[in-house]
Amino acid sequence: MAEHSLILKNLRISLAGDTLLDIDAEVAPGEVLAVMGPSGSGKSTLLNAISGFLSPRFSCRGQIILDGQDITHEDPSRRKIGLMFQEPLLFPHMSVEENLLFALPRGGSKQERCEKVREKLRAVHLEDLGARDPLTLSGGQQSRIALMRVLLSKPKALLLDEPFSALDVELRDRVRTFVFGLAQQNNLPVVLITHDKADAVAAKAQIINLLNHK
């Protein structure tokens, strides 16, 4: 079993006795598993199961293993999973820097914490955005800051729910290069929900196509 991998071992999720999805997959660090399929096929349900937010209406068999730990029944707050959605969901009443400080684990003086955030921004050439109000950022900048915020909480895996779909084609390409590059640098397995095959191709992803249940 590879260290740092996300393993979905014979994971079967059912609703009212009908199997919605049945998956057996291993996502290595830095690798992307692209989950595709029509509306209602279970893409969000799969992310909910991995992050620990599966509704009790579903039954779930099999195991979810992250970095060697069986997290199938672990509390969501202890799973160390970073989530990113189509909407960047930055706090509008805080500056970019404050948004990032919020995600930084506790510890250190205010000055040390601010320096850490600035260092992270510099590393990705976004230092000029620190003092800005998130609502004044472009869509692509907001997405990049949202990813930085997720990474500051030191997740062991990233779950991305159509994070590029609100961006226009050119920006989409740049933002996904940024996202997949940082996932690789941080050795994070990624599960990506997308309707766009180009996202999967850009990530050199393993692809799972969920079935239509209608």
Ligand X SMILES: Nc1ncnc2c1ncn2[C@@H]1O[C@H](COP(=O)(O)OP(=O)(O)OP(=O)(O)O)[C@@H](O)[C@H]1O
Residues that bind ligand X (CB under 6 A): 15, 20, 37, 39-45, 55, 57
CB of 46 to ligand X, least distance (A): 7
Q: Whole-angstrom Cα distance, residue 192 to residue 35?
A: 6
Q: Whole-angstrom Cα distance, residue 125 to residue 116?
A: 14
Contact 192, 203 (CB under 8 A): yes
CB of 29 to ligand X, least distance (A): 25
Q: Which is nearer to ligand X, 44 or 206 (CB)?
A: 44
Q: Which is nearer to ligand X, 21 or 205 (CB)?
A: 21
CB of 115 to ligand X, least distance (A): 40
Q: Which is nearer to ligand X, 30 or 62 (CB)?
A: 62
Residue 82: CA atoms inside 13 Å, Cβ hemisphere, count? 25
CB of 166 to ligand X, least distance (A): 15
Strand 81-85 versus strand 6-15 pairing type = unpaired
- Distance of alpha carbon 57 from the chain centroid: 24
Count the helices and strands in the chain (H runs, E runs): 6, 9
CB of 191 to ligand X, least distance (A): 12
Q: Which is nearer to ligand X, 56 or 105 (CB)?
A: 56
Report angle CA 89, 95, 47 to the nearest 5 degrees. Answer: 20
Q: Which is nearer to ligand X, 67 or 162 (CB)?
A: 162
Q: Which is nearer to ligand X, 72 or 194 (CB)?
A: 194
Residue 194 sits at φ, ψ, to 5 deg, of -150, 155
Contact 10, 24 (CB under 8 A): yes
CB of 210 to ligand X, least distance (A): 6
